[in-house]
Amino acid sequence: MRVITTILEMVAERSRCASSKSVGFVPTMGFLHEGHLSLVRQGRKENEILTASIFVNPTQFGPHEDLESYPRDLPRDLQMLENLGVDIVFVPTTDEIYPPGFVTYVDPTGPLTMEAEGASRPGHFRGVATVVLKLFQIMQPHQAYFGQKDAQQVAVISRMVTDFDLPVKLRILSTIREADGLAMSSRNAYLDPAERAASSVLYRALQNGRMAFEAHVNTRSREGVSEVVKAMIGTVLKEPGAHLDYAEVRDPDSFMPLEATRAPALLLIAAKVGPARLIDNFLLRADGSWDTGIPVNQQ
Ligand code: AMP
């Protein structure tokens, strides 16, 4: 596995890849877990050359967020990627991606970036879109792998790929979960044992939301949507260790609030548990099937 730290070298290495070979790309912020590794394994199966990146992107963190404390373990991450057969990993410094004088950002607009995560984290998706476009330019992947765990990120990047005619196919994979349902996340490392126990409430809230959704799905009613939200909020309120940020039902592409219980739909939840802000979702696909994620031991 080649570990590359500069854009110049990365672009040169990429141009040495035979143009006939398919190139996959898995962007990450490191401190890898089974969620990341599921993307890497799938990418390995589907591409002749597999690339990944590790970069904690400062522009997607708000001024009072956890950029400084974000967990990092580069040697361990590189070993994991090497074990899974990654060919090239790009590990730039912040100055490499944002050199002095950097002024140009991708700024997605509208409800897609102003609501849900966008409302709680102003500027977050501007940082995400900017770094992902830069990484696509540098890595030139045919296919790029993202997790459904970050549903709004998926919607923003899909929209950017369409809007900018980017020649990349997005592969969106299911959320990998711990045995008790907690979505795997680098930020779970912030949780002490009591907080860790409380954090499974997000999954339980989504399960109760799904049940309420199914009970109202044929009515296609506006009241159905509020019953779903009520079920999610009620579940979180019973867990004193969790502090709800939002529980919502939205369209998975536009992120507009749903007016009725119809497919496709996204059940979204965000809550603070101790020092960690956690997000999760269930996706009801257009064909009526649910993507609720995969337990780590059933992959
Ligand atoms: P991050 O390092 O948090 O930026 O995540 C890198 C990629 O891994 C993103 O596409 C995430 O959506 C994805 N990811 C993070 N957690 C999970 C998970 N539990 N299951 C599947 N994908 C995930």
**What's the pLDDT band for 92 if we cut at 50, 70, 90?**
very high
Rounded-to-5 percentages of helix, strand, coil across the chain: 40, 20, 40
**Residue 280 belongs to what H/E stretch?**
strand 276-284
pLDDT digits (tens, 9 = 90+) for 95-144: 999 999 999 999 999 999 999 999 999 999 999 999 999 999 999 999 99
Ligand 1: centre distance to CA 150 (Å): 7
Mean pLDDT of the 211-215 span:
96
Question: Given a cut of 80, is residue 218 above it in pLDDT?
Answer: no
Model-level pTM? 0.98
* Structure confidence at residue 247 (pLDDT): 98
Residues designated catalytic: 36
**Token pair 């592409």: residue:** 253
Confidence band (pLDDT; 50, 70, 90) for 18?
Answer: confident
- Compute, in angstroms, the gap from residue 205 CA to the centroid of ligand 1: 21
State the pairing for strand pair 176-177/23-28: unpaired
Q: For ligand 1, is residue 185 a contact (CB within 6 Å)?
A: yes
What letter does residue 11 receive in the DSSP assignment?
H
**Residue 129 has what pLDDT?**
98
Q: Is the CB of 188 under 6 A from ligand 1?
A: no
